Amino acid sequence: MSTFLAEVLGTLILVLLGDGVVANVVLGKTKGNNSGWIVITTGWAFAVTIAVYCTSAISGAHLNPAVTLGMACIGKFEWALVPSYLAAQMLGAFLGAILVWLTYLPHWKETVDAGAKLGTFCTAPAIRHPVSNLICEIIGTAMLVIGLLAILTPENLVPGTGFDKAFSPALVGILVWSIGLSLGGPTGYAINPARDLGPRLAHALLPIPGKGSSDWSYAWIPVVGPIIGGVLGALLYQLLWTTPAV
C-alpha cells in the first residue's frame, strides 16, 4: 500500500507542477502568460525532480507506465507489481490535473482558445501526422528510459557516499529538461502515458467553460508511443550493458 500511495502522490505532484506551469503560460490573465517554451520545459524538469525526491525512497519513483513496463521487461521490476503501479500512476495523474483546474479556476473563462485549455491537460501535435507523431514519442521515451537507467547504474554512482542518492533525482530532471528542449517540439513530449491520459480524462469530465474537444482521436499516440519507446529503451540499454567492451 505504501508503494501504491507513493506512486499516486508522486504522479500527482508531477502533473500538478508540470501541467501547472503550462496553465501559467497559456491561460489568460495569469502572471506567467506567454512566457514561453523555456518556462514550460524548465517547469516540467523541476516537477519531475521534486516528484522523484518525494517518492524515490518508497516506490522507486517510476511515475510513468513506460518506465514501469520497460524495467519489468528487462527484469528490473516484478511483473506482479506492474498493475498496481499503473493504476496508481493513472489515479495520481488524474487527481493532479483536477488540482491544476482548481488552482487556475478563474482563468478558464478568461481563455478564449479551446486548444490552449486542452494543452494545459495533455499533449497535441504541432503538425498532425500520426506516423511521425508516434515515432517522436517512441524516440523521446526511449531516450528517457536509457538515460534513467544510466543514471541509476551502480558503476556511474559514487561508492560509499550519499551523493548519488541525493543528486540522482536532479539528474532525472535534467534528463527530462533536455528531452523537452531537444525533442519536445513535434508533439509536446508526453513520454508518459499516465501524464497524458489521466489529465485528458479530467479535461473531458471537468466543467471547463468553452473547453471544446478532448481530442480522443489523437489520445492513443501519447499512450502507445511511450510504451513502445519505454520497452525499446530498456532493451537497448540492457543490450549495451550486457555486451562486453571491446
Q: Is the pLDDT of residue 125 over 70?
A: yes
Residue 236's domain spans which residues?
A: 2-242
Q: What DSSP string describes 160-225?
A: T-SHHHHHHHHHHHHHHHHHHHHH-TTT-----HHHHHHHHHHHHHS--TT-----TTTTTHHHHH
Contact 119, 22 (CB under 8 A): yes
Q: Is the pLDDT of residue 156 over 80?
A: no
Q: What DSSP string describes 53-102?
A: HHHHHHH----SHHHHHHHHHTTSS-GGGHHHHHHHHHHHHHHHHHHHHH
Q: Is the pTM of this model over 0.85?
A: yes
At 65-85, the pLDDT tens digits run 999 999 999 999 999 999 999
At 26-48, the pLDDT tens digits run 999 999 999 999 999 999 999 99
Q: Is the pLDDT of residue 21 over 90?
A: yes
At 92-121, the pLDDT tens digits run 999 999 999 999 999 999 999 999 999 999
* Domains identified in the chain, total number: 1
Contact 30, 74 (CB under 8 A): no
At 158-192, the pLDDT tens digits run 666 555 667 889 999 999 999 999 999 999 999 99
| Residue-level pLDDT at 165 | 67
Q: Is the pLDDT of residue 201 over 70?
A: yes
CATH of the domain at 191: 1.20.1080.10
- pLDDT category at 155 given cuts 50, 70, 90 is confident
